[in-house]
Chains A and B, each alone.
Chain A
């Protein structure tokens, strides 16, 4: 065998593709530089206007600026205030993310025989559980906790919720080490402000301020912390609620949430350890379960890390149970508690009827009939 020199050159044969297809042609037009400069300046200016608007109006209670009445309240602040003002302090609390919003405290009262409060918080993670427990213990004793724990509670990328850090009631119970550094907070705050929802809500908030009327809230909760979604529940009652599009939205949302969620966060597991430790010291019994998402969401997220993170969370909870730190009730499928896949608002949030069935499964000793 002989070798050619590496530098030997073979002239390339003509490409069969037309030349105009191979490379885009760029015409030389005067003013290109001015155009680029105006684009960049205008882009920064537009972004600055949107950012400033969201920050000043703070329609979703994300920044705590409170310069105008917000459209959505900071649930952490509102629930803590409601809890503080209860004349009879609850001895049992329901904890978790918005996935436990429809778990009725009245049901827990029937099952356990003690007053209960739903302290479910949007996007709650382990540091939220700990802050809430510390806050609740400062108000009085807590004997029982029903904890609906999502695998996202241990997310290893998402930092502590700004709504927790800006909550005047719960922020004092947040450990200093959980607070993200200021560049991270600023970046996340800016991204939040650059969302369509924030922008439109800012405009709506200003409109309502000028018109002097308030919109119907997306959600509201009663004195026991039990959440209602007025418009959505009206549609459900009228039989006009379409589940599938909402599942699709959840699929897109959760695909994004699990992107980059590569392992359970060690500091969040440590926060959960601390939560269980102080619960045990105070003699508080913790009953935990993982709220099962809608089966369609699970199957559509089969290619993500959802399954792996769920298994790791299950293993973690089983380990805590072995150590006697909590009581874990595995609920891998809806069938396990007689759940109904049509009784969901979207891919993760179950309706009250499903929640009641699930609570009955957790506390088999009694039966709750609240519907």
Chain B
């Protein structure tokens, strides 16, 4: 089920909220949340609900085994076993065909035995809920977390619908206490902010990201081979804005929905395009993933405590896996490595005192670097990506600006410019102090109805595919 669908807004959400606040009993409410979330998930494909229940059960049991066992070796064995199980599921559903096709392409010509492709359907959100669960088990192993005493509570944490499909990646330490102290009645201020975030997030997605995609990104990337200088820049600027408004819109909706249930989620975006260096960018973009990769991968690898070379290696491994997490494709791998190079390069320049002194120059350089990265992220192949990057550099020539202006239309270009102004000049949805007047309530409701009217042209969120 999509947040931007009639069934969700007119059916699932009102019923869920009514039931959540009316049903008595702490445990009953968590059961309700879990079952409703399974329904929400199963609406797409019910066959994958048992897979999630299996993964949840394994994590719950392993969490307790790790906590109860004193022997370090056995604790480690439980952890490794669970990681193999979780990453194995991810590997089979997400990466098997990628590995097999790469194997076949590289070793096939050398007469090596070919691996069969499984063509399995990727369960939506598996990357997100797997990472949620892995953080839970590792935190228990590290002694930072007491396992949940209630399976229902843990199942609700893994499955709860606001974050289930596309994050933010929530940790049990964020939610456990909140689950144990569920409020009986909704708080007016939480509901008000929740509504603001839900509607603004939906508007970001439906009224901004989808329109940019329809007018610029989709047609331009579809004719990537023919793009020249201006077309390539429009495509990339368009996608840079689309992915931000799409994904941050989804995250705002998730946080808003959680607030409507009286729960609080972590921040996932903090005006990432205002960043002055790649490191800052990753502290502001998809923050829940960045912090996850930092805490569960980069730091255990040694972090930035050693030499510059070791730091670069750790960054490289982390970003390689971060890229691969986004999708089973070489474009994502290269995108991850590209960001690894940016981060390592920045660390190196910083140690040598060679970073730009002007904040504006630093922000512009970071934004440009990130945009180049998005070409790798969006393009259907590395070859296409290289072609577009070349076109951005003028390798395919220049079209007359007036012709391009006419072709794309003043309103659409102004829309794009307004999008850039929003990401650079305005506060983000976590920084706004939301008005609570009657007029604001009416205005927000009208905006919500406009979003609702646009659902018929619904499109899935970009991060659903991960």
Contact = CB atoms under 8 A, between A and B. Distances in A.
B265 A24 contact: yes
Interface in B129-163: 139, 142-146, 149
A241 to B, nearest CB: 13
Given A46-B449, A191-B6, A24 B255 contact: yes
A278 interface: no
B437 A195 contact: no
Nearest to B268: A21
Given A42-B446, A196-B453, A26 B193 contact: yes
A46 B445 contact: yes
Main secondary structure of the interface of B (DSSP, over half): helix
B444 A39 contact: yes
B438 A35 contact: yes
B420 interface: no
Interface string B10-21: 100000000000
Given A27-B433, A35-B436, A259-B44, A1 B69 contact: yes
Interface string B399-443: 000000000000000000000000000000010010111101110
Given A4-B70, A24-B259, A50-B449, A32 B223 contact: no
Contacts of B436: 29-32, 34-35
B454 interface: yes
A15 B173 contact: yes
B222 A10 contact: no
Interface in B31-70: 43-44, 64, 67-70
Given A1-B74, A46-B449, A252-B459, A13 B190 contact: no
A194 B143 contact: no
Given A1-B71, A9-B146, A248-B222, A194 B6 contact: yes
Contacts of B454: 196
Given A42-B441, A245-B219, A303-B122, A35 B192 contact: yes
B16 to A, nearest CB: 16
Contacts of A154: none
B455 interface: yes
A176 interface: no
A22 B43 CA distance: 30
Contacts of B354: none
Contacts of B438: 34-35, 38
Contacts of B455: 194-195
A242 interface: yes
A149 to B, nearest CB: 26
Interface of A: 1-4, 6, 8-10, 12-13, 15-17, 20-24, 26-43, 45-47, 50, 190-191, 194-197, 199, 242, 244-245, 248-249, 252, 255-256, 259-260, 303
Given A27-B189, A36-B195, 13 more contacts: A10-B143, A12-B173, A17-B295, A21-B267, A26-B189, A32-B191, A34-B441, A35-B192, A42-B446, A43-B445, A195-B455, A196-B454, A260-B43
